[in-house]
Amino acid sequence: DSGVTQTPKHLITATGQRVTLRCSPRSGDLSVYWYQQSLDQGLQFLIQYYNGEERAKGNILERFSAQQFPDLHSELNLSSLELGDSALYFCASSAGGLLHFGNGTRLTVT
Amino acid sequence: AQKITQTQPGMFVQEKEAVTLDCTYDTSDPSYGLFWYKQPSSGEMIFLIYQGSYDQQNATEGRYSLNFQKARKSANLVISASQLGDSAMYFCAMREGGGGGSNYKLTFGKGTLLTVNP
């Protein structure tokens, strides 16, 4: 158990809808990273937050947004969903150089 | 250009034999870190081993070792005495920069699917 909690485990929704993925980092970790894993793109870095502030941005679509709250949990919001957004979304946290991954949220867009 | 290249989409190995999974990387930063993660069919990402660019010795963690050849920019994972439970996808990843402060973002390769046969 990595100590990183992601909810929900599975999410099935329709095109055009909006969903929110939630991540609780390991106790004491200030950084949260979001990754998207799809068959064609592999593991892609989306965005990083550190102690509530956006720190780095990767291949995140404009339809996607994230935030980190004062209690350090983070949410990834995906809107106007398309079939191609179906993927496994990982959250990871770090405190000392090693990323600890949650078990992911599998999003299926139908 | 790809920063992390894993040229073996799939590998097969007999139980109890050793196997090497290849990884080459590309960076101009003198300070970087290399990681291997395992992803079983259940989906979670499990950290296996880490090698820093300034580390003099190859990293080892139990049955896992990292064959680090800096001049060739390769960081191959060696699994000794393979077990059926080693069947999984394996990802090589790189962190560029010393990671000081808060930046530990990783770039991943496409992965190698390892199948261990009984």
Q: Nearest 10 degrees: CA dihedral of A66, A70, A72, A77?
A: -20
Band the pLDDT of A62: cuts 50, 70, 90: very high
Contact partners, residue B62, CB within 8 Å, separation at least 6: none
Q: What pLDDT sits at residue A59?
A: 84
Contact partners, residue B11, CB within 8 Å, separation at least 6: B19, B21, B112, B113, B114, B115
Euclidean distance between CA atoms A23 and A15, whole angstroms: 23
Summarised one tens digit per residue, pLDDT across range A70-99 is 999 999 999 999 999 999 999 999 877 789
State whether B106 and A88 contact (CB < 8 Å).
no
The SS3 call for residue B84 is: helix
Q: What pLDDT sits at residue B40?
A: 96
Q: What pLDDT sits at residue B104?
A: 78
Structure tokens at B80: 């000794």
Q: What is the mean pLDDT of chain A?
A: 94
Q: Which of B103, B104, B108 is opposite residue A43, by nearest beta carbon?
A: B108
Contact partners, residue B4, CB within 8 Å, separation at least 6: B23, B24, B25, B26, B92, B93, B94, B107, B108, B109
Q: Within 10 Å of residue A14's Cβ, how many Cβ atoms? A: 8
What are the chain B neighbours of A32 within 8 Å (beta carbons)? none
Q: What pLDDT sits at residue A95?
A: 76
Euclidean distance between CA atoms A9 and B75, whole angstroms: 33
Q: Which amino acid is at B25?
A: Y
State whether B103 and A56 contact (CB < 8 Å).
yes
Structure tokens at B107: 């770039």
Mean pLDDT of A15-40: 95
Question: What residues form DSSP beta bridges with A69?
Answer: none
Spell out, as residue ranges, where chain B has pLDDT lower than 50.
none
Q: What pLDDT sits at residue B1?
A: 65
Band the pLDDT of A26: cuts 50, 70, 90: very high
Q: What pLDDT sits at residue B2?
A: 75
Q: What pLDDT sits at residue B99?
A: 56
What is the rounded end-to-end Cα distance, in angstroms, of chain A?
A: 31
Q: What pLDDT sits at residue B23?
A: 98
State whether B111 and A100 contact (CB < 8 Å).
no
Q: What pLDDT sits at residue A75?
A: 98
Euclidean distance between CA atoms B13 and B63, whole angstroms: 15
Euclidean distance between CA atoms A70 and A85, whole angstroms: 28
Q: What pLDDT sits at residue B87?
A: 98
Mean pLDDT of A2-27: 96
pLDDT greater than 80 at residue A41 = yes
Q: Nearest 10 degrees: CA dihedral of A12, A14, A16, A17?
A: -50
Q: What pLDDT sits at residue B100?
A: 57
Residues of A with CB under 8 A from a CB of B: 2, 30-31, 33, 42-43, 45, 48, 50-51, 55-56, 58, 88, 90, 92, 94, 97-104, 106
Question: What residues form DSSP beta bridges with A17?
Answer: none
Structure tokens at A16: 């055009």
Q: Which of B33, B105, B111 is opposite residue A56, by nearest beta carbon?
A: B105
